[in-house]
Amino acid sequence: MIDIRLRLARSGFDLDLALSLPGQGVTALVGASGCGKTSLLRALAGLERAAGRVALGDTVWQDDATGTFVPAHRRAVGYVVQESALFPHLDVAGNLRYAFARRARRQPARAMANALAPVIDLLGIAALLPRRVAALSGGERQRVAIARALATQPELLLLDEPLAALDDARKAEILPYLERLQRSLALPMVYVTHAISEAARLAEHLVLLDAGRVLASGPLSELLSRPDLPLSRFDEAGVVIDARVLAHDPGYALSRIGFAGAALWLGQTAAPIGQAVRARVLARDVSVARQMPQASSVLNLLPVTLHSLHTEGATVLLRLAVGQPEPAAPPAWLLARITRKSADALALRAGDALFAQIKGVALM
């Protein structure tokens, strides 16, 4: 685990938090601008002198109680920011060699090449190695920046809105590579983002910050499904479902995934049958019915139990438990946003047995 207990006082702003984060996988930090996300990352890297304690497992980087403070240059941290900050006078290979040499001095060239090969492969940058930074696209620069951070052989990778400066096309280009990192590296990553879609795609753990304090911290799937948190008020409110591919229907360009004793049709995925996948279902794409609809164009009809209702002006947010989970396993959740008129017409109450309707086209 990563143990973080930090306090930082500034004019008009106080960072005061205690966190235990997973020792591998991606933790997403989400919150409004100015809530302390970047300050937290800088304190973890040793670039900001906050008070408190920072430890990765048995490795203590800071503990004010014992007078311990490891400076930034001695912390095994990779740091990626919005702008790639690559050395313009070096080609891509030179940028990687420089980063590697900082952590592994006096290594022979062959050892360096062997150590960098997995990173180059993961991020698909082999063809870019001889190119100058000025000749790279924004997405290519960020892939190289991430590779350079990994070339330092870090024990913790910090990413501060690495896609914020990219347009949608470049984001779509780089996200699959970030997913490969998430699947392939047994390395904790802390990922700052304003985009819930990025967190939903990459993270397993989610931390919500508000004015320098921890509003909530826990598994991504659990926090996204909680109607009491600010995320539920956004237009992009929804849940993440961890599932496995059950079948493909190439004739209709669809795939079927299974989870918690239920299944969904969605746009065809390249993942083979049996592979773990993640689906995001937005609350605005879910409706409910009291009886199983007949002759409907909606592909996905799931039996659910209404857990709770939360009125938000003219709309109501429903939290729905899907199917029958395994004993001792947490339920799979859906959120549905409907009008108050619809909720009243159906006379909805907690505990009602309903059917959730999700268009397959909404999951393309």
* pLDDT > 90? residue 290: yes
The stretch 123-148 carries a mean pLDDT of 91
- pLDDT tens across 301-349, in order? 999 999 999 998 899 999 999 976 555 667 899 999 999 999 999 999 9
**How far is residue 316's CA from residue 326's CA, in Å, rounded to a whole number?**
29
Q: Which amino acid is at 118?
A: P
> Dihedral sign, CA of 181, 126, 141, 171?
negative
What's the pLDDT at 84? 74
Residue matched to tokens 């914020």: 164
| Residue ranges of domains in the chain | 2-226, 278-363
Q: Running DSSP on this structure, what letter comes out for residue 16?
A: E
Question: Is 265 within 8 Å of 300 (Cβ atoms)?
Answer: yes
Above pLDDT 90, what percent of the chain? 63
Whether 2-226 and 278-363 share one fold: the answer is no
CATH architecture of 278-363: Beta Barrel (2.40)
Q: How confident is the model at residue 194 (pLDDT cuts 50, 70, 90)?
A: confident
Residue with tokens 């857990």: 307
Q: Longest C-alpha distance within the chain, in Å?
A: 74
Rama region for 153: left / alpha / beta (φ>0; ψ in -120 to 50; rest): left
> What's the whole-number average pLDDT of the chain?
90
Residues 6+ apart with CB under 8 A from 299: 254, 265, 358, 359, 360
Task: Report the share of the chain in percent with pLDDT over 70.
Answer: 95
pLDDT band for 172, please (50, 70, 90 cuts).
confident
> pLDDT confidence of 359, banded at 50, 70, 90?
very high
CATH fold, domain 2-226, is Rossmann fold (3.40.50)
Q: What are phi and psi of 65, to 5 degrees?
A: -65, -25
Given this model, what pLDDT does residue 34 score?
Answer: 85
pLDDT score of 202: 92
Say how far apart CA 63 and CA 68 lie, in whole Å: 5
Question: Comparing 59-68, 96-105, 116-125, 184-193, which segment has the lowest mean pLDDT?
Answer: 96-105
- The pLDDT assigned to 286 comes to 96
Q: Is 342 helix (H, G, I), strand (E, B) or coil?
A: helix
Task: Give me the pLDDT at residue 325, please.
Answer: 52
CB contact at 8 A, 211 and 40 = no
Residue 55 to residue 75: CA distance in whole angstroms: 11
Least reliable range by pLDDT among 46-55, 193-202, 345-354: 193-202
| pLDDT (0 to 100) of residue 98 | 85
